Structure 1
Amino acid sequence: MSGNGTRTVSTGGVRLAYRAWGAEEGRPVVLLHCLGEDGEDWRGPLVSQLGGAHPVYALDLRGHGESEQPGSGTPEDFSGDLLGFLDALGIERAVLIGHAFGAVVAYLFAQEHPGRVDLLVLEEPDALRPPVEPPLPEPEPAAAAPAFDPRAQPEWTGRRSAPEPRWWDRLAAITAPTLVIGGGDDSHLPQPELAALAERIPAGRHLTVEGAGHLVHESRPGEFTSAVRQFLAEHTPAPVHEAG
């Protein structure tokens, strides 16, 4: 464990850092941060509230935080990293909660590996519905953002502006119940696109936190946490009591 409380795993030759909080047992929750941040971004009410009943893991995506910067960062790379991370920790199925870029990683992973995803929560995800005209704006990373590979931002900007059609088409392949959370008109993302993304997912639902902007879990932590907890509670199987 590092001095910052992170642990590491290696998958596909890439070292990934992560934080672990919460219960020893229960339905695992994996948190995926936005571009330019790291897993520390999630520390706060969400982790505190979920940690009582769930093991909670916050991954530093490749090229971010304390994870390795291998120099390549295709969607397939990030999806492969997440699969390797789950395998390394022995997690068969997880709740994935992603913000922005992390939300895209989550839903692309859920397209390719539906059996590994229990529930999806997507906070302010790019819908990536082609064609994107004009290209979506790329916000600047915060001045205090942790170290991340400077090649990641222009690469992702290009992919957002020319998304592969299959990313949108295969939303219909997601089997996990999904909650898409938007920040309303204060967000730079077109909110109707978030609603369309939720509608495309068979078990998708859209929720808007008006006035929250792009950083819903930071600007409205109480409302965000309540929405996530309610969603998880709605999709928690009732305990089975044996007769006798």
Structure 2
Amino acid sequence: MGIPVVLLHALGSTAATWNGFAARFDGTRRVLAVDLPGHGDGARPERYSLDLMADEVLAFLDTQGISRVDLVGHSMGGRVAVLIAQREPALVRRLVIEDTPPPPDLPKEPLAPVTEPAEPLPFDWRLIEPIMTELRSPDPGWWARLGAITARTLLVSGGPTSHVPVDALARVSRAIADCELVVIEDAGHRVHSTKPDEFWKVAGPFLEGS
């Protein structure tokens, strides 16, 4: 069945967001959608970070005996996928990053204090502050480490209706050695959900390439 495809969801989502995309492989590939820590059936650690999420994915791949993988990540899941491709370049053959904001050049306004919500959330509310703070903080090292990625990479933008600027993704594409940027107009941030056919049209053949 070839190299497994591993799917990583956005903050506040779960592995189930990929059900429709995974079904399109129609059994031709081993497809694994992962609940990241704090989401779905994922672990509930004492402290959260993107590095911890990458560690958990790498540990999962090890338990599955997977030594080569295609990674697909949306938003926060895309940041986790990039970390894995930076840290373990030989592991990742193909990398698909869906509308994932890179670290900003300047610090963003601090988040308002996050308190436990009155109603339960479908994810651990304690992850909001550390993960959002990390996503909104400058990280020059992240940009520098993009050069370590050896996987063929596809960046998918949701166009101007997304909060992630296309020019920010263009900057990422220039920093990765083998990278293509595709803009799916009027898709917004959740490209694989709002424009599933268009997303598959670009991601499917890319993942099937040799």
> Fold-level match, TM-score > 0.5?
yes
Deviations 1:5-30 (A, max 9, x none): xxxxxxxxxxxxxxxxxxxx322000
Q: Which has the higher contact order (CA 8 A, sep 6+)?
A: 2
2:171 aligned to which of 196, 200, 224: 196
> How many residue pairs align between the two structures?
202
User: What's the offset of the Cα at 1:131?
Assistant: 2.4
Q: Does 1:148 align with 2:155?
A: no
Is the 1:65–1:146 contact (alpha carbons within 8 Å) kept by the matching residues of 2?
no
| Separation in 2, partners of 1:31, 1:104 | 12
Larger Rg computed on CA atoms: 1
Cα distance, 1:170–1:129 mapped onto 2, change above 3 Å: farther
Aligned partner of residue 225 in structure 1, secondary structure: helix
Q: Does 1:47 align with 2:22?
A: yes
Which residue identity is paired with 2:42?
A: S
Alignment of structure 1 residues 14-163 onto 2, 5 Å: 25-44=1-20, 46-132=21-107, 147-163=122-138
* CA root-mean-square deviation: 1.8
Structure 2 residues not aligned, in runs of 5+: 112-119
| Separation in 1, partners of 2:109, 2:44 | 30
More helix by share: 2
* TM-score of the superposed pair, with normalisation by structure 1: 0.78
| Separation in 2, partners of 1:65, 1:146 | 11
Is the 1:33–1:98 contact (alpha carbons within 8 Å) kept by the matching residues of 2?
yes
| Separation in 1, partners of 2:18, 2:122 | 16
Structure 1 residues not aligned, in runs of 5+: 1-24, 137-144, 237-244
- Residue identity over aligned pairs, in percent, reads 38
Which residue identity is paired with 1:154?
A: E
Aligned partner of residue 125 in structure 2, secondary structure: coil
Is the 1:95–1:117 contact (alpha carbons within 8 Å) kept by the matching residues of 2?
yes
